[in-house]
Structure 1
Amino acid sequence: MTDMRWANEFLDSMREVCDPPADEAVQSLFTQGLVGSANELMKQLVAHETVSAEQLPVPLRGYFEQSAKMPSWADRELIREGQAVFSRCGSLSVVALVCASLPTCYAGAEGVQVLHLTARLETDTKRRIVETAQMVVDVMSPGGLEPDGWGIRDAQKVRLMHAAVRHLIRQSGRWNPEWGQPINQEDMAGTLVTFSVVTIRALEKMGYTLEPREAQAYYHAWRVVGYLMGVDERLLPEKYEDGARLADSIFARVFRASTEGQVMTRALIELMEHIIPGNIFDGLSSTLIRYLVGDSTADLIAVPASDWTQSLIKPLRLLGWVMDEGDEQNEVSAKLSELFGRKLLEGIVWVSRGHERPPFRIPEALRVSWNVRSREQQLA
């Protein structure tokens, strides 16, 4: 039964609403002829990650000051507990991101049009994955949502970039009004729950079942991020269970097959195959995606059919692992998923984002506890 708080009429209205504070800041840049300085700002945000108030164009100073404020309902203890869950899950969190969250986003037929219009698909997939993974690590690392934390900075930058993308798409004349507004509130909320609800569900499928308090803490941290990124508070329910209902309501509305979503999924799978060295995990990327998002969603984004058992057997043999009769498949697949995630994360660490972008950053404490080799260690 549909929760009446998120009935079709309300969610339809949310497709026509974007993010007024960020949109107004970007519009002011264009109106005042400050586009050049804004472009320079974006380069500085990407390359240097910190910009002083004096370096900001005047229309953006108020935006950055206001958008850094935490909501009154933010529970810092709960945030820390959610970040602790992320730290404990380690590389499984990366698998959940790349093999569940991103593919779920690609199943949204209207929302994926923004990615299609603003990306060079195959060539941009690498950068998009690395930058999304960086945001997740920054938000969920200890201290990421403290004042001046990396997570808050990332949320501010992404929110501003969304506004710039909306402006440019509207000016391009290539947007179909039937899709709603570009990066509208429903699509923003749908994307947000892939980082919380979809991730929690994926972790459980990989054998890491969260206690109710842990799930709520993880969800709460992302609820705070949603607020910082301009998501309407009516689309930020307090309880994880309500967030899960909202996720299912949105997915039921927006999931459809699209050429764009299928192309981006194929590029994602090819990238994972490329950045993980050797051939031990060949085929596991698509197998994990289908397992974590489910067959119906996997079919929409054209994930190749897979044999979960065969995908397990090959790596187990090559790694010299032997399954005892008492071993549960879930336990073995969880260990294999964790190893896959660690190799994937090392691949992300290795990948360059371009000469203007800093290298991928993982707090040293997390890198050591996750047993992820640094770029220098991989070169040795």
Structure 2
Amino acid sequence: MDSMRERCDPPADEAVRLLFQKDQVPAANALMKQLVVNENISLEMLSPPLRDYFQRSGQLPSWADMKLVQQGEELFGRYGPHIIVALFCASLPSCYAAAKGVRVLHLTARLETDPARRIMETAQMIVDVMTPGGLAQGGQGLRSAQKVRLMHAAVRHLIHRSGHWNPAWGQPINQEDMAGTLLTFSTVVLQALERMGCELSETERRAYYHAWRVVGHVMGIDERLLPEQLEHGLRLMERIQRRQYAATPEGRTMTKALLGMMEHILPGNLFDGMPATLTRQLVGNTTADLLAVPTADWTRLLLGPLKVLGWVSDEAVDFQGPRAAKLVGMLGRRLTEGLFWMNRGPERVPFRLPTTLRQSWDVRGWERA
């Protein structure tokens, strides 16, 4: 694992190195901006290093089982709003608890100053890769994963040029940190769904994990850090947590910005206090304390919304029951609707969600946004 902190992603790093050669910096900047702004990329318009990168990195691994990927997509279709909550209240906080990896986010400074934009980009990639057909040849999810991988290489290049990186932290966006981040989108999400009271079969859990394992391959993660079995993925996540989780000012700053953003985009006062409460419930008090998540009596905070909706009449709240899962689903739909209204910048298209998912999740407000 120590050696994985010194390994990055040679194919993507080499493409960026060639792109940012001294006499090509203006052209490289223009092309990187094109990658950010344009959702669809024409390979013919790219320079040879980028064209070669996209052609080589777009191949799925030989072990990819598209039937399992499809089953994972179906789980996303059924529990999408809950997975959005898991992203906000479990996956991202888990990333911020990794003391060395979170320094990359702090150095880029964007989450602290513009939390909505970065978080929305992460949510967009998750939707892209888990939408039906997203990981098929030419699928939007496949292209999104390739772009994120290239952006990681660009960030590594710029951080090294900045002179602000401490070699004791390992390489920026190294293999261990990339694997840990990927696992927050698979194993951490699966654990969060169970804590929310969602019903998942063993086949569905393994299918969802497999789909993200395929994503990990596309994003350049060493296959030694992509265990085949879900149980081994859970064990790897535990090992990374033991190695990397610690309290840091950067992690607490990122978490505060994340909780504040959720409070801002959720409508009205019905869900006041719920982001912090759910974060504690989904990541556990130990990790929440590292991140300085405000403490709360989660049963009391859940009780208000449940009473308003007529789901409970006394002080007993079973967080893992079907009624609580229904409440979390409602919260996820409101968060998703809030993403439609958030500004990605003057040159970016709005957050997109396929029509089939908008309808099945009963997400509204897209047309007005």
Please report the TM-score for the alignment, with normalisation by the length of structure 1.
0.94
Amino acid at match of 2:48: V
- Give runs of aligned pairs for residues 70-149 of structure 1, distance below 5 A: 70-149=60-139
Query: What residue number does 1:374 align with?
Result: 365
Query: What residue number does 1:262 align with?
Result: 252
Contact 1:83 1:218 in 2 (8 A): yes
Helix, strand or coil: the match of 2:231? helix
Match of 1:197 among 169, 187, 195: 187
Moved more, 297-306 or 326-335: 326-335
CA distance in 2, matches of 1:56, 1:120: 27
Q: Is 2:127 aligned against 1:158?
A: no
Amino acid at match of 1:311: L
TM-aligned CA deviation for residue 48 of structure 1 = 2.0
- Give runs of aligned pairs for residues 169-318 of structure 1, distance below 5 A: 169-318=159-308
TM-aligned CA deviation for residue 321 of structure 1 = 3.9
CA-atom RMSD in angstroms: 1.5
In structure 2, the CA distance between the partners of 1:93 and 1:175, relative to structure 1 (3 Å rule), is same
Query: What residue number does 1:336 align with?
Result: 327
TM-aligned CA deviation for residue 111 of structure 1 = 0.1
CA distance in 2, matches of 1:12, 1:326: 47
In structure 2, the CA distance between the partners of 1:260 and 1:145, relative to structure 1 (3 Å rule), is same
Query: What residue number does 1:356 align with?
Result: 347
CA distance in 2, matches of 1:129, 1:249: 26
TM-aligned CA deviation for residue 320 of structure 1 = 4.3
Amino acid at match of 1:364: T
In structure 2, the CA distance between the partners of 1:38 and 1:31, relative to structure 1 (3 Å rule), is closer
TM-aligned CA deviation for residue 240 of structure 1 = 0.7
Match of 2:50 among 46, 60, 67: 60
Helix, strand or coil: the match of 1:356? coil
Deviations 1:298-341 (A, max 9, x none): 01111010111111122223344434799844222211111111
TM-aligned CA deviation for residue 268 of structure 1 = 0.2
Moved more, 294-303 or 117-126: 117-126
Amino acid at match of 1:373: R
Unaligned runs of 5+ in 1: 1-10
4+ residue segments displaced more than 6 Å: 324-327
CA distance in 1, matches of 2:251, 2:294: 14
CA distance in 2, matches of 1:224, 1:292: 25
Q: Is 2:336 aligned against 1:345?
A: yes
Please report the TM-score for the alignment, with normalisation by the length of structure 2.
0.97
Task: Give percent identity, aligned residues only.
Answer: 61
Helix, strand or coil: the match of 1:90? helix
CA distance in 1, matches of 2:316, 2:152: 50
Deviations 1:202-255 (A, max 9, x none): 000001132111111000000000000000000001011111011101111000
CA distance in 1, matches of 2:349, 2:32: 14
Q: Is 2:356 aligned against 1:365?
A: yes
TM-aligned CA deviation for residue 368 of structure 1 = 0.4
Amino acid at match of 1:264: M
Contact 1:121 1:263 in 2 (8 A): no
TM-aligned CA deviation for residue 97 of structure 1 = 0.7
Contact 2:111 2:118 in 1 (8 A): no
In structure 2, the CA distance between the partners of 1:303 and 1:216, relative to structure 1 (3 Å rule), is same
Unaligned runs of 5+ in 2: none
Contact 1:96 1:202 in 2 (8 A): yes
Aligned residues: 368
Helix, strand or coil: the match of 2:53? helix
TM-aligned CA deviation for residue 375 of structure 1 = 2.5
Deviations 1:160-213 (A, max 9, x none): 000000010001110011100000000000000000000000000001132111
Deviations 1:125-168 (A, max 9, x none): 11111010000000001000001111111111000000000010
Query: What residue number does 1:3 align with?
Result: none
Query: What residue number does 2:25 align with?
Result: 35
Query: What residue number does 1:6 align with?
Result: none
Amino acid at match of 1:155: A
Q: Is 2:157 aligned against 1:167?
A: yes
CA distance in 2, matches of 1:204, 1:310: 21
Helix, strand or coil: the match of 1:34? helix
